[in-house]
Structure 1
Amino acid sequence: MLVSKAIVEGTGSSTGRYTLGQQRRFFAEGVREFLRLAPNLKIMGDCGAFSYVREPEPPVTVEEVTRFYAESGFDIGASVDHVILEYNPQWDSKAHGAPPVPDDCIRRQELTLELAREFLQNAKKQKLQFEPLGVAQGWSPGSYAKSVSALQKMGYSYIALGGMVPLKSPEILAVLEAVSEKRKPETRLHLFGVTRLDHVVQFASHGVISFDSTSPLRQAFKDDKDNYYAEDRTYVAIRVPQVDVNPAMKNKVLSGEVNQGDAFRMERQCLEALQLFDKGRFKRSELLKLLHAYQQMFGVDRKNNMAAYEELLTDKPWKSCPCAVCQDLGINVVVFRGAERNRRRGFHNVFVTYQKLRRLI
């Protein structure tokens, strides 16, 4: 489990997402009790470097970060880093006319290594209980390998590769191959923000033992595809917007284009039909007609999604899923409506991702 300081209490000018009361309880109880995590689950902390990626320097000190990890009871704590936004292996070319490495990339890498050295020294001096995780930043396979080599010389045996979220899988593998040439046998690697289950076996062969990603959670409510994970594919969640919450719908009602009573009536009909369908008491074809009519009422014509909805309603993947969310919510887990419902679909996605990972390793 990864928890970012930026989310809990903010960094620099950015504010955290926890209320003041939640922050106090977080520190009073510790991260494990606050999040109700099992004793055997390792908890990793980081700075949330993407929250200050546009700033010239990290707006957080090594002392602040080590305090955050130590006082909260983290098992693993990442050093302070500064993300390098660009990736271009050609910058390392010695060929005549090759573009030079931008000064900002070099500065960020050097600063990240300098902060990693200070972080490790601070942790050892105070005899802190968490395991230090050194962060490597780079713009190419060679520059990442250089960072990993430097971190190993400092004394790190657990190293995270940062700034890799926008990289394509072949680029990540190229970085790992270069890093492998410098990596000591006892050095373990973590990938920040990278899942790529199709390549997890290859990642492991290069020393990767852990990774983190919010994709399963975000895709639950991000767009019109991949909202619900199944064992061998993904599905589109069925959108039944709330009349009194959805901005487009509220505007239609307020402008008089749509009668509020009719809108609420059709919304209720869709929700009731979904429940009846789940119990085998409503035809799929009639349900699809209702959903299409409701979306058309507000000018949200998702006709292209009707085929996807039909696939979902035909397969009924929630029926065969053993996770607690599907068992509890039934068809509601595939209904795109309300933050809490969408969030719980995200937890289902995490469950499916974990099961896939277990089979792969």
Structure 2
Amino acid sequence: MRFFFPDSQDQVDPGFDFVTEERDPLRVRQRDDLYAHEVLDPPPFHGLLVSKSIVDGYSDGSAGKYTGAQRRRLYREGAREFFRLDHASGPLRIMGDCGAFSYVKETYPPYSVDDVIDFYDGCGFDYGIAVDHVIFQYEPEISRDDERAIEWVRRQDITLTLANDFWKRCKDRRVRFSPLGVAQGWSPQSYADAVVALQRIGYRRIAMGGMVPLKTREILACLRAVDDIRRSDTQLHLLGISRCDDIPTFATHGVTSFDSTSPFRQAFKDDRDNYYTFDSTYIALRVPQVDGYVKLRKRIASGEVDQRQAIILERSALRLLRDYDAGIASLDDTLAALQNYSQVWDGKTDRSAAYRRTLQDRPWRDCTCTLCQTLGIEIAVFRGTERNKRRGFHNLHIFRNRLRAQLGEDLT
């Protein structure tokens, strides 16, 4: 089972000072900042998933997340050198897709088959996923002939037609990557029909798309339907699915790889489950910057909050958190400082019980990852991209260990 982490230019600055919150003025992000696989050993994933929409945007003017200089360098150097994959302790793979979520509202995908092949082959990817068009609905009782399925059938037909063209063009151009077709559907039967068509074309690697909103039982219903027609040598990839506890079950249905950003994004997107441990999760300790938190800046601008007082409370919370971790401050004083500042920047949500649990347990002290060992309590502070992304990297490390345990692999 292989776990691919979708790239979105997520790096951390190794020279960032957590006390002064300053950077080296000579820092160059792409040269100096580090990816998760450079920070953690072993790497917390088996490979990266890179989307064309993230790199290039598309023709209607929608911008990707890469600058022009980054984009040119990726094409010039190739993905392996650009992402510095040879720095990792284990061999990492690169998978490419189109980023169909970014154009889901479009009538037709904005990329041609040759556009996508140019991207995959030009960047030196190991795997390339055919152009697809997402179907988000799940209606297991609706057949292909039902008039309610007209749009879903249209998108599925587009996806299969493009998959056929992609397969032929890959053969004609003798590409260096392994092509994957995409199965899009709205029911177990429609997914099975898509896989039948893709296998007939010649695909033995198939990505299952559009399943992110589905419940686990719905995903399994689709996989069981696919089992009835799947060849023994056909391997499945789950796009955007990371349910660790279910991975062994997915594996029994031909799933050999998946991708997801969930462990990373929960570090700074979730209300409570921000910090992973092997058998639990914790809330991160929120201390937003006075000058960087939009809602607080608005309250200051309106005169509702005194800026000087907000800065004093912010600094007090940070100081007491560090003193608590050093054994100098008490838990109650530290919790009180967090709550006092919370009243200023939030004023609505009482997180004191969850904060107390995080502070009492100090889970970072039991973690063996490089980040927790180096940063201490800073890894559990919800504040700015440098702390939040490091906590996301930590979550990836724990997720990879959970995955290995679920699959019965040795963790030593």
Say if 2:245 and 2:406, in contact at 8 Å, map to a contact too.
Answer: no
Moved more, 339-348 or 186-195: 339-348
1:160 aligns to what SS in structure 2? strand
Q: Which residue identity is paired with 2:317? A: C
Q: Which residue of 1 aligns with 2:355?
A: 309
Per the TM alignment, residue 332 of structure 1 is displaced from its structure 2 partner at its CA by: 0.8
1:286 has 2:337 as partner: no
Say if 2:143 and 2:149, in contact at 8 Å, map to a contact too.
Answer: no
Change (3 A) 1:171 1:263: same
1:8-45 per-residue CA deviation (whole Å, 9 max, x = no partner) reads: 11123221011111111111121122122246111110
Per the TM alignment, residue 260 of structure 1 is displaced from its structure 2 partner at its CA by: 2.1
Per the TM alignment, residue 92 of structure 1 is displaced from its structure 2 partner at its CA by: 2.5
1:174-207 per-residue CA deviation (whole Å, 9 max, x = no partner) reads: 0000001111011100000011112111100000
Alpha-carbon distance in structure 1 between the residues aligned to 2:59 and 2:359: 47
Per the TM alignment, residue 282 of structure 1 is displaced from its structure 2 partner at its CA by: 0.9
Say if 1:292 and 1:302, in contact at 8 Å, map to a contact too.
Answer: no
Q: Which residue of 2 aligns with 1:359?
A: 405
1:92 aligns to what SS in structure 2? coil
Per the TM alignment, residue 137 of structure 1 is displaced from its structure 2 partner at its CA by: 0.5
**How do 1:165-314 residues align onto structure 2 when only pairs under 5 Å count?**
165-303=212-350, 305-314=351-360
Q: Which residue of 2 aligns with 1:48?
A: 99
1:36-73 per-residue CA deviation (whole Å, 9 max, x = no partner) reads: 22461111100000100111100110000000000101
1:220 aligns to what SS in structure 2? helix
Q: Which residue of 2 aligns with 1:63?
A: 114
Q: Which residue of 2 aligns with 1:320?
A: 366
1:119-169 per-residue CA deviation (whole Å, 9 max, x = no partner) reads: 011111111100001111011101101111111111111001000000000
Aligned partner of 1:29 among 68, 77, 82: 77
Q: Which residue identity is paired with 2:119? A: F
Q: Which residue identity is paired with 2:389? A: R
Alpha-carbon distance in structure 2 between the residues aligned to 1:143 and 1:247: 45
Alpha-carbon distance in structure 1 between the residues aligned to 2:367 and 2:234: 38
Moved more, 332-341 or 29-38: 29-38
Alpha-carbon distance in structure 2 between the residues aligned to 1:295 and 1:198: 35
1:258-293 per-residue CA deviation (whole Å, 9 max, x = no partner) reads: 332222122111111111111111111110011101
2:394 aligns to what SS in structure 1? helix
> Taking every aligned residue pair, what percent have the same amino acid on both sides?
51
Change (3 A) 1:121 1:235: same
Structure 2 residue runs of 5 or longer lacking an equivalent are 1-47, 408-412
Say if 2:95 and 2:128, in contact at 8 Å, map to a contact too.
Answer: yes
Per the TM alignment, residue 101 of structure 1 is displaced from its structure 2 partner at its CA by: 4.5
2:198 aligns to what SS in structure 1? helix
2:335 aligns to what SS in structure 1? helix
1:72 has 2:120 as partner: no
Q: Which residue identity is paired with 1:90? A: E
Q: Which residue of 2 aligns with 1:343?
A: 389
1:245 aligns to what SS in structure 2? coil
Aligned partner of 2:139 among 72, 88, 93: 88
Say if 1:2 and 1:43, in contact at 8 Å, map to a contact too.
Answer: yes
Say if 1:192 and 1:211, in contact at 8 Å, map to a contact too.
Answer: yes
Alpha-carbon distance in structure 1 between the residues aligned to 2:308 and 2:171: 66
Per the TM alignment, residue 298 of structure 1 is displaced from its structure 2 partner at its CA by: 3.6
Alpha-carbon distance in structure 2 between the residues aligned to 1:327 and 1:25: 34
TM-score (norm 1): 0.96
Structure 1 residue runs of 5 or longer lacking an equivalent are none
Alpha-carbon distance in structure 2 between the residues aligned to 1:126 and 1:166: 36
Change (3 A) 1:220 1:66: same
Alpha-carbon distance in structure 1 between the residues aligned to 2:298 and 2:246: 46
Alpha-carbon distance in structure 2 between the residues aligned to 1:237 and 1:348: 13
Bigger relative CO (Cα 8 Å, ≥ 6 apart): 2
1:221 aligns to what SS in structure 2? helix
Alpha-carbon distance in structure 2 between the residues aligned to 1:207 and 1:110: 24
Alpha-carbon distance in structure 2 between the residues aligned to 1:10 and 1:204: 34
Per the TM alignment, residue 93 of structure 1 is displaced from its structure 2 partner at its CA by: 9.1
Q: Which residue of 2 aligns with 1:332?
A: 378
Per the TM alignment, residue 295 of structure 1 is displaced from its structure 2 partner at its CA by: 1.1
Alpha-carbon distance in structure 2 between the residues aligned to 1:300 and 1:344: 27
Alpha-carbon distance in structure 1 between the residues aligned to 2:309 and 2:128: 55
Aligned partner of 1:20 among 68, 74, 80: 68
Q: Which residue identity is paired with 2:405? A: R
1:68 aligns to what SS in structure 2? helix
2:292 aligns to what SS in structure 1? coil
Aligned partner of 1:143 among 186, 190, 202: 190
Change (3 A) 1:283 1:85: same
- RMSD over aligned CA atoms reads 1.4
Q: Which residue identity is paired with 2:293? A: N
Alpha-carbon distance in structure 1 between the residues aligned to 2:91 and 2:148: 43
Q: Which residue identity is paired with 2:361? A: D
2:93 aligns to what SS in structure 1? coil
